[in-house]
């Protein structure tokens, strides 16, 4: 009995330190409220910073990427256990040399990345832990589309498609700022 009480106390104490939070991303709203949307090239990473430059600039800029230390190991573990495949981007930060669209939210944090695939941008949340804390709600009557791997019909969300790995949006509707 004493061991059970100790185990329960440890479980309770451990659960107090967990800070997982569900992030719901309404893509149209996220882009509309973004502080900045820019085409960038990834230069490199330090312990807590992502170094990048704007596409037509030689200046090196920096932005916090501390969450990379949490999201990427979780993503790699899920790939290793065959829960997701390498094409899933949730929790992934772009490789050095990648050309991507960077979305910075009102708190001056990286909120989304997107790669140009043909005429469409493929958006994802680099801060997500796959299948755990970011869910894209994609308004069915918008210019955004869910990924082919996501739910196409969800009767509980008649106005939205739901996806944990991002969405697609025509490049015609993206205005950099």
Arithmetic mean of pLDDT over the chain = 79
Residues 124-129, mean pLDDT to the nearest whole number = 84
Work out the number of other CB atoms within 10 angstroms of the CB of residue 165.
25
Q: Where are the strands (E) in the chain, listed by range?
A: 23-26, 36-45, 49-54, 61-64, 99-104, 110-117, 120-124, 134-139, 144-146, 160-163, 167-170
DSSP state of 55: T
- Residue 149 CA neighbour count, 13 Å, CB half: 13
| 64-80: average pLDDT | 75
pLDDT of the residue at 95: 92
Q: Which pLDDT belongs to residue 70?
A: 65
The residue extents of the domains of the chain are: 21-173
Beta bridge partners of 161: 138
Residue pLDDT, tens place only, 143-162? 787 777 775 555 556 788 78
pLDDT at 104 over 80: yes
CA angle 52, 53, 55 (to 5 degrees): 130
Q: Give this prediction's pTM.
A: 0.79
């Amino acid at each position: 009995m004493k061991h059970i009480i100790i185990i329960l106390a440890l479980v309770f104490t451990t659960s107090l330190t967990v800070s997982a939070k569900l992030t719901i991303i309404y893509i149209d709203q996220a882009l509309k409220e973004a502080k900045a949307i820019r085409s960038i090239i990834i230069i490199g990473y330090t312990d807590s910073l992502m170094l990048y430059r704007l596409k037509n600039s030689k200046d090196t800029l920096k932005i916090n990427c501390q969450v990379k230390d949490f999201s990427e190991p979780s993503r790699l573990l899920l790939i290793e256990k065959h829960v997701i495949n390498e094409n899933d981007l949730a929790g992934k930060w772009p490789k050095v040399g990648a050309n991507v669209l960077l979305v910075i939210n009102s708190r001056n944090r990286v909120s989304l990345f997107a790669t140009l695939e043909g005429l469409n941008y493929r958006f994802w949340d680099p801060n997500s832990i796959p299948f755990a804390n970011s869910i894209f709600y994609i308004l069915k009557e918008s210019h955004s589309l869910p990924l082919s791997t996501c739910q196409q019909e969800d009767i509980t969300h008649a106005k939205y498609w739901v996806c944990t790995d991002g969405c697609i949006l025509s490049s015609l509707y993206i205005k950099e700022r």
